[in-house]
Structure formats: structure tokens, C-alpha cells
Chain A
Amino acid sequence: MTVAADRLPSLDRRFGWAMTAPGLLALSLVVLFPLFFAIFTSGFEYTLLHRKYDTFVWLDNYRSIWSEGYLGQSLWVTTTFVVAVVLLEFLIGFTVALMLNAVQRFKDVYYLILLMPLLINPVVVGLIWRMFLHPELGIVNYVLSLLHLGPVNWLGDVRVAFWTVVLVDIWHQVSFMIVLLLAGLASLPREPYEAARMDGASIVQAFFYVTLPLMRPVIVVTLLIRMIFAVKTFDLIFVMTRGGPGTSTDLISYFIYRSAFYGLDLGKASAISVVLLLVVLALTGYLYRYMRSLA
């Protein structure tokens, strides 16, 4: 066919760049500069008291951050938090999305309700849950007492506080997963699923052998993005626990915040951020390659 001529890869490439350019422009003007600034700063001795780049210290910042003592602990807490939150929100979110996809009536009502927590910003979510979870004066422990269950020390017991924060985060953000996963389910073609059911597959079989594989790209991207956000969790911790009790909820973003604004050492804070960036980038790269192998 004569259209072969305008399938030239170079025209494709040019089109691709033309489509990317406006978005890239916006990004480079605003965030790419700070990104490189952060990487750059990590190699210098740069504090808020002395905002000059006159002492290049190579990798000294990267060495000294480990002597802080609690950095390892913070990274561990962050890892468990991210895994817990992403996994639980995915399981709950996917179930709800499947249910929502299966119903016809009241779909908009359910959707509206699940959107509501998302409209509350994390600082306020933390504050209102502190009110609900006040061990002495809060409604949750009061309701528990009516059921003859002891008062729970939600944020003061070192074994419980971590899970309290995870639960509050789930209440707040599970709908994020639902919105994305539901969109994925809705854009799936019906034919493969119907064909499988006609061939005698049960609902469960059809789900695992048809739906799930088709959903993989959306699932992977949803998990990825949620993971990136989870690593950045800050306000919830800052408002609810300040990293306590002890260090059981000391997430890395709060650690970096303290390094920058209390320790006044931007060089060190940048170094920790770059380490974080590399770890998340590595994970992303791995997941992304997995995603590509499916497409």
C-alpha cells in the first residue's frame, strides 16, 4: 500500500518528540532543575547557615550519613511501611474495584463515597484521626469500651503505633488504587472473558487466566506509583507521631526533613535523598522492565 512511505521511522520519531516536547518543557522549567540541584548539592558542604558552594567534599556526605545511627532504622521502617501499605491497599482496592465493576446500580453513589477521603489532605487526615483515636476522649476507644474491649493505646504503644498509621493511611488512600484499577477493568475487552466463560471456565478461573493477565500493565503501574508516593509519606507521620514512639514510625522523608531544616545541613539531606532516589529508581526500573516484557 502506498502508505508505506509515511511509516518512516524518522517521521514517527519526530512525531513522538513533538508530542513529548510541551510536557517536557513544563517539567524542565520547574522540577528537573531542582532535581539536578539536589544531586549537585549532595557533593558539597552546603548548610543553611552558609549557602555557598565552596567546599566540594566528593562522597563525604554519603559516608557521614551512616554514622547518624538511626538512618538504618529509618530505612527499615520505611520499607516495611511501604510494603504494608501498598500490599494491603492493593488487595482491598482490587477487591472493591472488582465489586464495583460487577454492579450496575448505585455505581455512582459508591464511587462518590470512596472519593471523599481522597479530598482531605494528609495533615487534616492526621488531625481528625488523632481526635477519633484519642485514647481517653476519642470515639473509637469509647465504642470499643461498649463492646467490652479494652482501650487501645493507638499511638503510644510501640507495637501498635506503626499499624495505626498504616490503617489510617489505608482509610485515606485505598481509593487511589480503586480509581486506577477500576479504570483498568473498565477498559478491558469483554470478548476474551466471555469466550472463557463459554468454554466452561468458572468465575475464578476466568479471573486468574483472563482478567488478571490483561490487567497486568495497569496493575504494575498502579503499584509503582503508589509505592513512589508511599515512600514520600510525611505529613501523616509529622502530625500523628513525629516518628515515635521511639523510632517505630520514623519514615525516611521525616528523617530528611530533620536533616535539612533542623540539622540545617542541606548537603547531607541531599545525599540521603539521592540514595533514596537511586533505590526507588532501581525498583522502578526493574518493575518497568517487567511491564515491558508483558506488552
Chain B
Amino acid sequence: MKRLLLTAGLSLALGTAAQATTVHILMENVPDTQFVKDQLPEFKAKTGIDVDIEAISYIDMHSKLVPQLSSPQGSYDAIVVDFYWVAEFTQAGWLMPLDDLIKRDNVDTNVYLPALMNLVGRVNGVTYMLPFYNYSMGIIYRKDLVADPKEQAAFKAKYGIDLKIPTTWDEYQKQVEFFSRDTNGDGKLDFFGTVNQGQRGDCISMQWSNYLYANGGQYHNKDWKATFNSPAGIKAIEDYKTDIAKHGPAGAESYCFDEASNVFGQGKAYSFVTFNILLSGFSDPKSSQVVGKADIAANPGGGLNGGWGWAIPNSSPEKDAAWTFIKWIESKETVKKRALEGGAPTQGWLFDDPEIIAKRPEMPQLKVLVATAQEFPTFTYTVDFVESLGRELNLAVTGQKDAKQALDTAASDFNKLAVKAGLQK
């Protein structure tokens, strides 16, 4: 007990001691956080700086960051920023611009995929972050079923087209329908074409976006006027509703990605439209029955882009040390190591590196995914819009509101927020 008290006291004291600089970072609980932690001893040996990483769940991160960032001095020297909050944080003036430091230290930001640099790198021409992690969405599907000759024959007989990795939305929907089966004859579906995550809010908004893009819809035009309450949007809702009602497990309208990924992991579904990072989770025998059977396809029309970026808050007590760390963690050797361990890369050349491809054959597909990804409207009130959209979508999908009405309400909310953010005239 006393030793613990002493250690706690010492570590607190050390945190503020001038001799050994410690960089405090707040990160999310993703596998890459562990990979970063693994490389810390190397950093310490090279620069003598200690790095203390605190990892918390995504859901609570925003609540924790807001007081920290809006105070004159916070406890964190470097943070990771989710694309949702980029506009909010930069508009509030909470992040330090990095252009001068980038120029001074000759950091090459062209190594990053443009889609990610625009999402979690540059805002209105100023660089605030270096992209750390990507989680763009795609269709995870059962490649073993697609490769099965019996399935191929039956599919060809029924639809007249080949069974292969889906490249159009119509093809994908046919596959979903084909694989929704009652295998034990009890009148209820027990193998599902797809698993939806229809829970109100973030869960449904993220997944539905892919349905919107696949049907050729967009969220807004270049004047930031909402355009998703179009026939494409309505069809996207109809597709989503049908998938839940006819091709998915009971209760999918209350699922978020945890419930959904467990259904896929138990081998009960053919596909799952979700974040690409979940793919590696399905090769873990402790949580998945489909090890080696899952692969990912790009969402037709573009999947939803997602990512995190390293940033230095203006309330950071150790800005220089934080920058030293960020430079190092995004340097070529370190990102390659992370990618080899299974991380989610943001630098383009990693996807083409033969050593990495040998270890992770899904890399070329992932590159396509990220390159074709579409950007969710990111502005000051993104999260507010996600909530509003999520509520309306959930109302429509649970049959409580007509699809057109729901989309119109969400669109009007979007327009109000766009005006509030100064983007719509």
C-alpha cells in the first residue's frame, strides 16, 4: 500500500519535474495505441523524453477533452483528434497550427493519402494535424462463401451473374438476399445476408452513409445546402429497412457495431458494412469463428471516410516535446513497424510496400477503400448533425416516421446548422 502511494506520488512529482520531460498524450483504445506504446522505449533511448499515454474509450473522449482544451493549461501535451471534431476544435482555436514547424523540420506531408490529409490534416489550408489512423468503411464479407463452387453455381442459376467480390450496389444487394437463409427449417432466418447497426445516433448515421453514397446520393452541394433528402436518400432508407427486416438478425435496429460484429464473428452473417479496422478483429480466435474467412470490399460509390490525427493543443504544457514525439511517431521507420504489426496506416507508400503486403494481403484493397472514400460533412456542428440525422434515420427505420419526412427534418436541421456555422449563405 505504502509503495503504491509512494509511486503515485513520485509519478505525479516526476510529471512536473523539470529534469526529465514527459509528454502526456490522451489516446483512444485502438490496437494502434498498443503498437505506439510498444515503440516508446526506442523513443526514450533516442531523445530522453518520457511518454505517458492515457487510453480511454472513444465515447468518453470528447467529454474529457473539452474542459482540457478550453482551459489555459490542460494536462495533455499531444492528443489525437477524431474527424468529427476537427472543425469544432479548429474553429474554437484549440489546436496549434503546425505549418511553421513542418517547414522548419522539413516534414514531408505528401506521404499521406490526400483523402486523409483533407480529413484529419489540413483545415482551410492550415495544417493542424498529422493523420495517425484511418478507419474508412467498406463491406466485410465471407470470402470463403464467395469462393465456394456450390454457392457460385446456385447464385448464377438464380440471378444470371457471377458470384464474386461485389463491385456494384445492385450486385451486393443480390448477394445479401441470396445469403439470407433459414438453414434449419424452423421458419426463422438464422444466416443473415448482412448485419445492420440501426441504433439511434452515431451508429446508424455512419453505416447508412454508405448506403447513401452507394445509391449515388450526397449530403450537400458546394453551397452547403442539404441534398440527401433526394430520391437517392429515400432509396437508401428503403434498402436499409429491407436489410433489417428481411436480411438481418432480429433487433438490428438497436445494434451498434459491437452487437453487429459479434453476429458476424459467430459466423452467422455473410457481410457487414463497417469500419475496415474490424477486419483484423475477425482473425482473432478468441473472439471470432470466421478466422481466415473474412475479407473486405470497397463500398460501391465510395465508403465513409474516417480517421484520427495527431494534434498539439494550445493548452499543451510541453509543445516542443510533443512535436518531437509526433515527428518521430510519424517517421517512416516507425509507421512501417506499426503497419507490420497490424496498424491502420495513413501514409500511401505503406499500402504498396511488398513486405507489408506479404504479411497483410488485404492492403491493396484497403488502399482502394481509402482512396475512394467519401467525406462526411465535417464542420463545427458535425456531431450535432450526426445526432439529428441518427434520430431521424432511426425513426424512419423503425417505422415510426415516413422516410421522406424524416429526411426532410434532418435536412432542415442540417441547413440550420450550416447557416449557424457560417457555411451556408
Contacts and interface: CB of A to CB of B under 8 A. Distances in A.
A242 B200 contact: yes
Contacts of A247: 391, 395
A245 B254 contact: yes
A101 to B, nearest CB: 38
Nearest to A135: B251
A136 B268 contact: yes
A137 B263 contact: yes
B398 interface: yes
Contacts of A184: none
A156 B253 contact: yes
Nearest to A156: B254
A137 B262 contact: yes
Among A154, A262, A264, residue most surrounded by chain B Cβ atoms (within 10 Å): A262
A130 B259 contact: yes
A48 interface: yes
Given A130-B259, A245-B200, A262-B387, A161 B62 contact: no
B30 to A, nearest CB: 18
Contacts of B401: 246
Interface stretch (B280-288, B327-335, B338-346, B376-384): B376-384
A244 B251 contact: no
B126 interface: no
Contacts of B394: 244-246
B306 interface: no
A261 B61 CA distance: 11
B98 to A, nearest CB: 21
Among A134, A156, A261, residue most surrounded by chain B Cβ atoms (within 10 Å): A156
Given A48-B92, A242-B200, A245-B394, A135 B250 contact: yes
A135 B88 contact: no
Contact of A134 (B63, B262, B381): B262
Interface in B144-182: none
Contact of A263 (B62, B201, B262, B384): B384
Nearest to B57: A123
A233 B333 CA distance: 48
Interface in A41-86: 48-49, 51, 70
B92 A154 contact: no
B201 A244 contact: yes
Among B63, B203, B386, B398, residue most surrounded by chain A Cβ atoms (within 10 Å): B398
A136 B254 contact: no
A127 to B, nearest CB: 9
Contacts of A51: 70
B298 to A, nearest CB: 27
B47 interface: no
B91 interface: yes
A134 B259 contact: yes
Nearest to A50: B92
A242 B251 contact: no
Among B59, B390, B394, residue most surrounded by chain A Cβ atoms (within 10 Å): B394
Contacts of A244: 199-201, 254, 391, 394, 398
Contact of A49 (B92, B252, B398): B92
Contacts of B253: 153, 156, 245
B249 interface: yes
Among B91, B200, B251, B254, residue most surrounded by chain A Cβ atoms (within 10 Å): B254
Interface in A154-194: 154-158, 161
Nearest to A164: B254
A122 interface: no
B207 to A, nearest CB: 14
Nearest to A238: B59
A222 interface: no
Interface string B389-425: 0110011001011000000000000000000000000
A130 B387 CA distance: 21
Nearest to B255: A156
B407 to A, nearest CB: 15
B251 A154 contact: yes
B66 interface: yes
B387 A136 contact: no
Interface in B89-109: 91-92
A258 interface: yes
Contacts of B63: 261
B198 interface: yes
B242 interface: no
Nearest to B189: A136
Contacts of A151: 250-251
Given A134-B259, A154-B251, A245 B398 contact: yes
Contacts of B324: none
A270 interface: no
Contacts of B383: 261-262
B39 interface: no
A133 B6 CA distance: 44
A261 B201 contact: no
Contact of A156 (B198, B266, B380): B198
A158 B263 CA distance: 22
Contacts of B262: 134, 137
Contacts of B91: 49
Contacts of A135: 249-251, 254
A264 B203 CA distance: 21
Interface string B359-394: 000000000000000000000110110110011001
Contact of B200 (A153, A243, A263): A243
17 contacts: A49-B380, A70-B391, A135-B250, A136-B249, A137-B259, A151-B250, A241-B254, A242-B203, A242-B390, A243-B391, A244-B199, A244-B200, A244-B254, A244-B394, A245-B394, A246-B200, A262-B383
Give me the 7 closest cross-chain CB pairs, A-B, nearest first: A135-B251, A244-B200, A156-B254, A155-B254, A136-B249, A156-B253, A156-B251
Given A156-B254, A243-B200, 16 more contacts: A48-B66, A136-B263, A137-B263, A154-B254, A157-B251, A242-B390, A244-B391, A244-B394, A245-B400, A246-B200, A246-B400, A247-B391, A261-B62, A261-B66, A261-B383, A262-B386
